[in-house]
Amino acid sequence: MAKVSKNRAKVDESFDSARKYTVEEAVALVKKATFAKFDETVDIAVRLGVNPKHADQMVRGAIVLPHGTGQTVRVLVFAKGDKEREAREAGADFVGSDDMVAKVSEGFMDFDRVIATPDMMGAVGKLGRVLGPRGLMPNPKVGTVTFDVSNAVREAKGGKIEYRVEKAGIVHARIGKCSFTEHALADNASTLIQALIKQKPSTAKGTYVRSITVSSTMGPGVKVDPGPFVGHVEEG
């Protein structure tokens, strides 16, 4: 623990925690600040000026990051007939219909993303209490309830992430690994930030993007200046 504390102290001295950096500078600092022996995940936290308690201020969606996430995603598809075969050919890890619904209801959870064809949602809906709390319930709004299962599977495997603003008004998302190039991390971060800005609810008042922070699994948070993305940004 002493070694970690010493490393962390050295990292904290390597940047100004009060300064807001460009996204390129921020990801460069995050990469330099890593000291773990594993390939740390890089995350972004965007605090928005919305109240998620109001349905018309809920910010939610999905986007394919241009450079993926660096995560191996295990995809489960609920489908039958030709769509079941299509899902397997697209690379889904687990595919089934009523038999798979039963398996999940009995405790099977070795997957990271769930996709379902619309005709399966009657049965899949029974798994709401199991999949819902884990953020795995298929939803047409994020493209996980669709008959185009092959495309959905490829996107999930290729770096598609889902995001949803939390109670505190913050969107947390994975944007890659520390082994990614600075360009790839900055590009992924910018893509997500721009997507969030495009989804600004018409009922949101005042400053929309309050703060942006980038960090690695073991590293400190580095603040990003929202200005280049939204023009004029007031202090949140």
Q: Which residues make beta-bridge pairs with 163? A: 61
Which helix (H) or strand (E) segment holds residue 151: the answer is helix 149-158
Same fold, 16-68+161-230 and 75-158: no
Separation of alpha carbons 126 and 35, rounded Å: 44
Residues contacting residue 7 through CB under 8 Å, at least 6 positions apart: 35
Each residue's pLDDT, cut to its tens digit, for the chain (236 residues) gives: 445 556 555 565 666 788 999 999 999 999 998 877 899 999 999 999 999 999 999 999 999 999 999 989 999 999 999 999 999 999 999 999 999 999 999 999 999 999 999 999 999 999 999 999 998 999 998 899 999 999 999 999 988 998 999 989 999 999 999 999 999 999 999 999 999 999 999 998 889 999 999 999 988 899 999 999 876 444 43
Q: Which CA distances in Å does 200 have to 120, 122, 130, 194, 196?
A: 32, 32, 31, 10, 7
* Superfamily (CATH H level) for 75-158: Ribosomal protein L1/L10, domain II (3.40.50.790)
Tell me the CATH architecture of domain 16-68+161-230.
Answer: 2-Layer Sandwich (3.30)
- pTM for the model: 0.80
Q: What is the pLDDT of residue 236?
A: 39
Structure tokens given for 183: 């360009």
> Would you list the domain boundaries of the chain?
16-68+161-230, 75-158
Burial track 214-231 (b if 16+ CB lie within 10 A, e otherwise): bbbebbbbbbbbbeebee
